[in-house]
A and B are shown apart, each in its own frame.
Chain A
Amino acid sequence: MRISLNWLRDYVDIDVSVEELAHQMTMLGLEIESVERLGDDIQNVLVGKILSIDAHPDADKIVVCQVDVAGEVPLQICCGAKNMKVGDKVPTAIVGATLPGDFKIGRRKMRGVESQGMMCAAQEIGLAEETDGLLILDEELPTGEDIKSVLGLDDIVLEIEVTPNRADWASMIGVARELSVLYGTELRVPEVSLVEQGEEIDSLCAVTVEDTALCPRYMGRVLTNVTVGPSPEWLCERLLAAGQRPINNIVDVTNFVLLETGQPLHAFDRDKLAENRIVVRTGKAGEAINTLDGETRKLSDDMLVIADGTIPQCVAGVMGGADSEVSEGTTTIFLESAFFAPASVRKTSRGLGLISESSQRFQRGADPEMAAYALDRAAELIQDLASAHVAQGVIDVYPTPLVPREVTLRYARTLRLLGVDVAPETQRDSLERLGFEIISHDDTEMKVRVPLRRHDVSMEADLIEEIARLYNFDNIPVSLPKVRPCEKVFAPDEKRIRAFRHFLVGLGLAELYNWSFSNPDEVQRAALPESYRKMIVLENPLSEKQATMRSSIIPALIGNAARNLNYGVTSIRAFELGPVYRPAEGDTLSTQHNRVSLVLAGDVEAAHWSRPARAADFYDLKGQVEAILAHFGATATFKESDGDTFQQGQRAEIKLGKKVIGTMGRVASAVGRAFDTDQPVYVAELDLDALLAQQPSPAQFQSVPTFPPSARDLAVVVDASVPSGELREKAAQSGGKLLRSVEIFDIFEGEQVGAGKKSVALNLVFQSDERTLTEKDTQKAFDKVLKRLKHEYQAELR
Chain B
Amino acid sequence: MKEQLEAFQAAALDTIAQADTLSALEEARVKYLGRKGAITEILRGLGKVSAEERPAMGQLANVVKGAIGSALDDRKVELSATADAAREESEAVDLSLPGRRPQRGHIHMVNQVTEEIIDIFAGLGFQVAVGPDIETEFYNFDSLNTPADHPARDSHDTFFVKPGVVLRTHTSPVQMRVMEQVQPPVAVLAPGRVYRVDYDASHSPMFNQIEGLLVDEGVTFADLKGTLMHFVHHLFGKNTKVRFRPHFFPFTEPSAEMDISCTVCSGKGCRLCKNSGWLEALGCGMVHPEVFKHANYDYEKYSGFAFGLGIDRIAMLRHAVPSINHLYDNDLRFLEQF
Interface residues of A (CB under 8 A from B): 22, 26-29, 31-35, 163-166, 342-343, 346-347, 363-364, 416-420, 456, 459-462, 464-465, 468-469, 473-474, 476-481, 483-491, 494-495, 498, 501-502, 504-517, 536-542, 546, 549, 556, 560, 563-564, 567, 569, 571-574, 579, 581, 589-590, 592, 606, 608-610
Whether B105 lies near A507 (C-beta < 8 A) is yes
Bound-complex Cα distance A420 to B165 (A): 41
One of A456, A479, A480, A606 near B124 (C-beta < 8 A): A480
12 intermolecular pairs with C-beta atoms under 8 Å apart: A32-B276, A164-B152, A420-B222, A468-B246, A481-B220, A483-B124, A516-B133, A539-B161, A542-B197, A579-B193, A589-B135, A589-B165
Whether B331 lies near A165 (C-beta < 8 A) is no
A501 to chain B, nearest CB (A): 6
Residue numbers in B under 8 Å from A537 (CB-CB):
161
B221 within 8 A of A: yes
Q: Mark each residue of chain B from 122 to 137: 1 if its CB lies under 8 Å from any CB of chain A, else 0.
A: 0011111110111110
Residue numbers in B under 8 Å from A506 (CB-CB):
105
Whether B132 lies near A538 (C-beta < 8 A) is no
- Sorted nearest first, the 5 A-B pairs with minimum C-beta distance are A419-B220, A419-B222, A483-B125, A29-B246, A505-B105
**In the complex where A498-B115, A540-B197, A579-B133 touch, is A563 in contact with B331 (Cβ < 8 A)?**
yes
Whether B182 lies near A610 (C-beta < 8 A) is no
B207 to chain A, nearest CB (A): 10
Whether A479 lies near B206 (C-beta < 8 A) is no
**In the complex where A469-B246, A516-B193 touch, is A538 in contact with B161 (Cβ < 8 A)?**
yes
Closest to B327 in A: A513
Bound-complex Cα distance A476 to B222 (A): 6
Residue numbers in A under 8 Å from B185 (CB-CB):
483-486
Residue numbers in A under 8 Å from B108 (CB-CB):
511-513
Whether A166 lies near B248 (C-beta < 8 A) is yes
Residue numbers in A under 8 Å from B219 (CB-CB):
481
One of B186, B225, B275 near A476 (C-beta < 8 A): B225
Residue numbers in B under 8 Å from A468 (CB-CB):
221, 246, 254
**In the complex where A343-B149, A538-B159 touch, is A511 in contact with B154 (Cβ < 8 A)?**
no
Bound-complex Cα distance A541 to B226 (A): 40
B318 within 8 A of A: no
Residue numbers in B under 8 Å from A491 (CB-CB):
127-130
One of B105, B130, B254 near A511 (C-beta < 8 A): B105
Bound-complex Cα distance A480 to B214 (A): 12
A373 to chain B, nearest CB (A): 24
Closest to A609 in B: B97
Whether A481 lies near B193 (C-beta < 8 A) is no
| A-B contacts, CB under 8 A, total | 263
B336 within 8 A of A: yes
One of B155, B181, B256 near A473 (C-beta < 8 A): B256
One of A33, A164, A610 near B154 (C-beta < 8 A): A164
Whether A592 lies near B254 (C-beta < 8 A) is no
Known: A488-B182, A542-B197, A589-B165. 15 other contacts (CB 8 A): A26-B245, A28-B246, A29-B245, A163-B247, A364-B151, A417-B303, A478-B229, A481-B214, A491-B127, A491-B130, A515-B328, A538-B159, A563-B330, A564-B331, A564-B333
Bound-complex Cα distance A514 to B187 (A): 30
Residue numbers in A under 8 Å from B126 (CB-CB):
483
Whether B222 lies near A479 (C-beta < 8 A) is yes
Bound-complex Cα distance A556 to B102 (A): 26
Interface residues of B (CB under 8 A from A): 97-98, 100, 102-108, 110-111, 115, 124-130, 132-136, 149-152, 154-155, 159-162, 165, 167, 178, 181-182, 185-188, 193, 195, 197, 199, 204-206, 214, 216, 218-223, 225-227, 229-230, 243-248, 253-257, 274-276, 286, 288-289, 303, 327-328, 330-333, 335-336
Bound-complex Cα distance A31 to B193 (A): 27
Bound-complex Cα distance A150 to B150 (A): 45
One of B135, B136, B160, B206 near A540 (C-beta < 8 A): B160
Whether B135 lies near A418 (C-beta < 8 A) is no
Whether A473 lies near B248 (C-beta < 8 A) is no
Whether A542 lies near B199 (C-beta < 8 A) is yes
One of A35, A469, A481, A606 near B223 (C-beta < 8 A): A481
Main secondary structure of the interface of A (DSSP, over half): mixed
Whether B111 lies near A494 (C-beta < 8 A) is no
Whether A511 lies near B106 (C-beta < 8 A) is yes
Whether B206 lies near A516 (C-beta < 8 A) is yes
Bound-complex Cα distance A15 to B197 (A): 43
A259 to chain B, nearest CB (A): 19
Bound-complex Cα distance A280 to B330 (A): 57
Closest to B108 in A: A511
One of A486, A514, A571, A574 near B186 (C-beta < 8 A): A486
**In the complex where A511-B111, A539-B160 touch, is A490 in contact with B193 (Cβ < 8 A)?**
no
The interface centre, meaning the residue of A347, A483, A489, A508 with most chain B CB atoms within 10 A of its CB, is A483
Bound-complex Cα distance A539 to B157 (A): 13
Residue numbers in B under 8 Å from A477 (CB-CB):
222, 225
A391 to chain B, nearest CB (A): 36
Whether A474 lies near B159 (C-beta < 8 A) is no
Residue numbers in A under 8 Å from B98 (CB-CB):
608-609
Bound-complex Cα distance A348 to B263 (A): 43
Whether B149 lies near A346 (C-beta < 8 A) is yes
Closest to B329 in A: A563
Bound-complex Cα distance A606 to B336 (A): 15
Whether B107 lies near A511 (C-beta < 8 A) is yes
One of B104, B107, B159, B186 near A501 (C-beta < 8 A): B107
Bound-complex Cα distance A347 to B151 (A): 10
A180 to chain B, nearest CB (A): 17
Closest to B335 in A: A510
Bound-complex Cα distance A469 to B244 (A): 10
Bound-complex Cα distance A473 to B111 (A): 32
Closest to B255 in A: A465
Residue numbers in B under 8 Å from A517 (CB-CB):
205-206
Residue numbers in A under 8 Å from B165 (CB-CB):
589-590
Bound-complex Cα distance A340 to B135 (A): 33
Residue numbers in B under 8 Å from A609 (CB-CB):
97-98
Closest to A490 in B: B129
Residue numbers in A under 8 Å from B135 (CB-CB):
589
B187 to chain A, nearest CB (A): 5
Residue numbers in B under 8 Å from A608 (CB-CB):
98, 100
Bound-complex Cα distance A347 to B148 (A): 10
Bound-complex Cα distance A483 to B186 (A): 8
Bound-complex Cα distance A590 to B160 (A): 13
Whether A464 lies near B254 (C-beta < 8 A) is yes
Whether B197 lies near A508 (C-beta < 8 A) is no
Whether B332 lies near A465 (C-beta < 8 A) is no
Residue numbers in A under 8 Å from B110 (CB-CB):
513
Residue numbers in A under 8 Å from B223 (CB-CB):
419, 479-481
Closest to A460 in B: B289
Residue numbers in B under 8 Å from A495 (CB-CB):
128
The interface centre, meaning the residue of A474, A490, A506 with most chain B CB atoms within 10 A of its CB, is A490
Whether A569 lies near B254 (C-beta < 8 A) is no
Whether B105 lies near A571 (C-beta < 8 A) is no
Whether A490 lies near B221 (C-beta < 8 A) is no
**In the complex where A417-B220, A481-B227 touch, is A164 in contact with B197 (Cβ < 8 A)?**
no
B141 to chain A, nearest CB (A): 14
**In the complex where A465-B254, A488-B182 touch, is A574 in contact with B125 (Cβ < 8 A)?**
no
Residue numbers in A under 8 Å from B248 (CB-CB):
29, 163-166, 456
Bound-complex Cα distance A420 to B160 (A): 43
Closest to A487 in B: B182
Whether A592 lies near B103 (C-beta < 8 A) is no
Closest to B257 in A: A31
